[in-house]
Amino acid sequence: MALPFFTFFLIFLVPSLSNADWPPSPGYWPSSKLKSLNFWYGYRNLWGPSHQSFQQNSLKLWLDRTSGSGFKSVKAFRSGYFGTSIKLQPGYTAGVITAFYVSLSNSEAHPGFHDEVDIEFLGTTFGKPYTLQTNIYVRGSGDGRIIGREMKFHLWFDPTQGFHHYAIFWSPKEIIFLVDDVPIRRYPRRSDATFPLRPMWIYGSIWDASSWATENGKYKADYRYQPFVASFTNFKANGCSAYSPARCRPLSASPFRSGGLTRQQFHAMIWVQKYHMVYNYCQDYKRDHSLTPECWH
């Protein structure tokens, strides 16, 4: 009688243990509601054209001693869902940033006063995981005197082993960051002063940020390991463009047309933050939180 019980144990208990490090299902998958976008229809090279190629339905950007590379959407949006699937390079990538973000013309149109919402992968050293950094700059807080709103995560999977989908959902009410449709962060609009409201473009890039990217600049980019390559595919961008009529209705990251998260999505987000978040600016006692009043709420 012991053998059948042991078999039952293996079948039902062991799989539950193997899934213990994965987030609970969000129950809703917003990326599945949107069609993939042909890269050349929605984006253009911004810089480093010689360090960019399109192969097997994926865009490759790379960084070496001479240059990195980046792309930019052909139109600006005032709200929407912006996502792409990314595969990162394994091994030594310290100092290297792979980024997907939305920005108010990347400070070109409004130098010293731009808005930006970032998903950034901070390069790492051998044997250590990548750090996914989410950040929000509002009205020049990323220019000059930096006032970042960083939350950082070590993911529940290895982002170098395959493509995973990363997305920014931005509406007039909130910003939600998603990984494989799992919400990892929600930034609600508390006030106009702490929320980006002007039209923004979508960007992607790979570049050398040795001065700060890996353990606050302790480890620098080592070009003995060049080129550093990031692959992008499955581009998704939908929402109200800067020139859409006023009646254009913002998308939602949940089944609720009014926005927000379902209880199941919220539960998944809290799980990620409990087990995989490694930094929250609101919990950093060294920060001057008079500059980030949303932390008081």
Question: What amino acid positions are annotated as catalytic residues?
Answer: 116, 120
What is the C-alpha to C-alpha distance for residues 113 and 275, in angstroms, rounded to an integer?
35
CA angle at 268 for the pair 157 and 94, rounded to the nearest 5°: 35
Cis peptide before 129, with omega less than 30 degrees from 0? no
What is the C-alpha to C-alpha distance for residues 76 and 110, in angstroms, rounded to an integer?
14
Q: Checking DSSP bridges between strand 77-87 and strand 69-73, what pairing results, if any?
A: unpaired
What is the C-alpha to C-alpha distance for residues 86 and 132, in angstroms, rounded to an integer?
12
What is the C-alpha to C-alpha distance for residues 234 and 82, in angstroms, rounded to an integer?
11
Q: Checking DSSP bridges between strand 277-280 and strand 69-73, what pairing results, if any?
A: unpaired
219: left (phi over 0), alpha (psi -120 to 50) or beta: beta
End-to-end CA distance of the chain: 58
Q: What is the CA radius of gyration of the chain?
A: 20
Closest CA to 178 of 75, 252, 231: 252
What is the C-alpha to C-alpha distance for residues 182 and 162, in angstroms, rounded to an integer?
17
DSSP conformation class of 250? P
What is the C-alpha to C-alpha distance for residues 11 and 21, in angstroms, rounded to an integer?
18
